[in-house]
Amino acid sequence: MTMPTLMLLTLIIPLVGGVLLTFQTNANTRDIISLVTASVLFLVVLGIYPGVLSGQSEALILAEPITGLAFSLQAEPLGLLFATVASGLWILTTIYGIGYMRGNNETNQTRFFFCFAISIAAAMGIAFAGNLITLFVFYEMLTLATYPLVTHKGNEDARRGGRVYLGILMFTSIGFLLFAILWTYSLTGTTDFTPGGILQGNASPTIALILLTLFAFGTGKAALMPFHRWLPAAMVAPTPVSALLHAVAVVKAGVFTVLKITVYVFGIDFIADTGAGTIVLWVAAFTLTAASIVALTKDNLKARLAYSTVGQLSYVVVGAMLANAAGIIGAAMQIAMHAMGKITLFFCAGAIYVATHKTNISQLDGLGHKMPFTFAAFFIGSVSIIGLPPMGGAWSKWFLLMGSADAQQWILIGLLLLSSLLNIAYLLPIVGRGFFRPLPAQDAAQYTAGTIQEAPINCVVPLCLTAAGCVALFLFGDAIYEFLQPVFTVAEPAGPAQ
């Protein structure tokens, strides 16, 4: 099959799967459909690799309502990496979600999986979007499709969280992102993602600075402060949704958008030459430090993880704004690494909730002995997030530091290191509590009675797999590096044209 067909399939498969779901009344068939869809999607995404590796870049134009403004799909390494992460983790999330939803007897499961499928389709669209406007469409689609998921519980809390979620994401995307897109279009007459960027020669440094800032803030999903509020607010959602938000699709879509815009709209040379990234760089640097500090103060496990995500996302933005090869590669790797790490943590948090209905960190004392797999996985995930070998996270952090050094941003290096220390401070104590604190006396009886044990197998297996993935990513870091190289080798020829 040709690349365009495959790309189209990545959109169609989840949609078809989603629609099929809604016609199933039997929970088992429904779950099987979900799983099969996810697996097929993953295989299709893998099927695109040979084409991209061999340098094909055939675009698929779906429609062209306005001249120079088509809805088109085009595969390139960054997007493919993102698609792989999203589709791969979707399988695990589905397995996990089935266990979680059943374990908690959640209502409206069909709607849940349907929206989930739509979200994945949107994420695929974002990954393969051939231009800004296509990206924008799928971006909004993702926001809208995840909204019912966030408000899944349907109570007042969920609705309030949902409103913040929708409000911030819609406001930033229409107010800033769309505006920036329109502006770009009016400057260049196109919104196509082009290696080396399209703005070069069309925008003065000042405009570039404003535009890039608009783009970065407009991508509310990247959760740059002060537009990060939606992420903690969305914590009301069921854990599989949190996993979707934090690891699989939503925030990743955000930072991926920033990254893609940096590379293919501005072009890293253009940013480096004009210093257009200055504002965003420092906002991101501030965000990653501040978010880590806030995370320290949170006792609710999911809230702490949420702020952790805010901070980790800014690593990606920082990498993008550094606008050099090491920075970009670090940023792209960070997307994958953080996804793997964070999904592990969320799976663990969910597993703890399913097993014990505990949500606060201070309640976790001694649980490590009862749930050894969960807590072990949590430990692995934490180390990966922090960025220590031998976990995947080490690579991304390493490249980001290299990038900062290349850009001679010494203060930034300091901040990155400080943030890593903070990461340690807010993640590892959780594990510590689980393993080294004794069980509280009043709960001990209950635990010994055997009512508390590991979460259902559906929950535990995925989290073990993702933990293993963190290790695996460390081993394959080199492969990813090789794979991402073409982003620059393609970019180079375009650069000197200036």
| Binding interface with other proteins (CB under 8 A) | 63, 65-66, 69, 71, 133, 136-137, 140, 151, 159, 166, 170-171, 174-175, 178-179, 182-183, 185-186
> Which one, of 435, 400, 210, lies nearest residue 315 by Cα?
400
Q: State in angstroms the smallest separation of the CB of 174 from other proteins.
A: 6
Q: Which is nearer to other proteins, 90 or 185 (CB)?
A: 185
**Residue 168 and residue 495: Cα distance in Å, rounded?**
36
Q: State in angstroms the smallest separation of the CB of 246 from other proteins.
A: 24
Q: Which is nearer to other proteins, 212 or 306 (CB)?
A: 212
Residue 237 near residue 152, CB atoms below 8 Å: yes
CB count in 10 Å sphere of residue 5: 12
Q: Which is nearer to other proteins, 184 or 308 (CB)?
A: 184
Task: Write the CA distances from 320 to 263, 277, 328, 329, 392, integer angstroms.
Answer: 8, 9, 5, 9, 19
Q: Where are the alpha helices (DSSP H) in 357-409?
A: 367-370, 372-386, 393-406
Q: Which is nearer to other proteins, 210 or 290 (CB)?
A: 210
Buried b (16+ CB within 10 A) or exposed e, 9-32: bbbebbbbbbebbeebeeeeebbe
Residue 395 near residue 475, CB atoms below 8 Å: no
Q: Which is nearer to other proteins, 66 or 449 (CB)?
A: 66
Which residues are 360's β-sheet partners?
A: 300
**Residue 113 and residue 147: Cα distance in Å, rounded?**
13
Q: Which is nearer to other proteins, 227 or 379 (CB)?
A: 227
Q: State in angstroms the smallest separation of the CB of 485 from other proteins.
A: 33
Q: State in angstroms the smallest separation of the CB of 182 from other proteins.
A: 5
What sign does the CA torsion over 469, 307, 289, 216 have? positive
Which residues are 131's β-sheet partners?
A: 192
For residue 252, which amino acid is it? K
Q: State in angstroms the smallest separation of the CB of 291 from other proteins.
A: 27
Q: Which is nearer to other proteins, 63 or 441 (CB)?
A: 63
Residue 264 near residue 194, CB atoms below 8 Å: yes
Q: State in angstroms the smallest separation of the CB of 159 from other proteins.
A: 6
Residue 197 near residue 265, CB atoms below 8 Å: yes
Q: State in angstroms the smallest separation of the CB of 65 from other proteins.
A: 4
**Residue 418 and residue 473: Cα distance in Å, rounded?**
24
Specify the DSSP element, H or E, that contains 338.
helix 325-356
Q: Which is nearer to other proteins, 66 or 441 (CB)?
A: 66
Q: Tokens 């990966």 appear where?
A: 384
Q: Which is nearer to other proteins, 185 or 307 (CB)?
A: 185
Question: Would residue 241 be called left, alpha or beta, if left means φ above 0 and alpha means ψ between -120 and 50 degrees?
Answer: alpha
Q: State in angstroms the smallest separation of the CB of 83 from other proteins.
A: 21
Q: State in angstroms the smallest separation of the CB of 225 from other proteins.
A: 21
Terminal CA-CA length for the chain: 38
Q: State in angstroms the smallest separation of the CB of 178 from other proteins.
A: 6
Q: Which is nearer to other proteins, 154 or 390 (CB)?
A: 154
348: CB partners within 8 A, 6+ apart: 374, 375, 377, 378, 381, 463
Helices 77-104 and 109-128, packing angle to 10 deg: 170
Q: State in angstroms the smallest separation of the CB of 137 from other proteins.
A: 4
Q: Which is nearer to other proteins, 16 or 158 (CB)?
A: 158
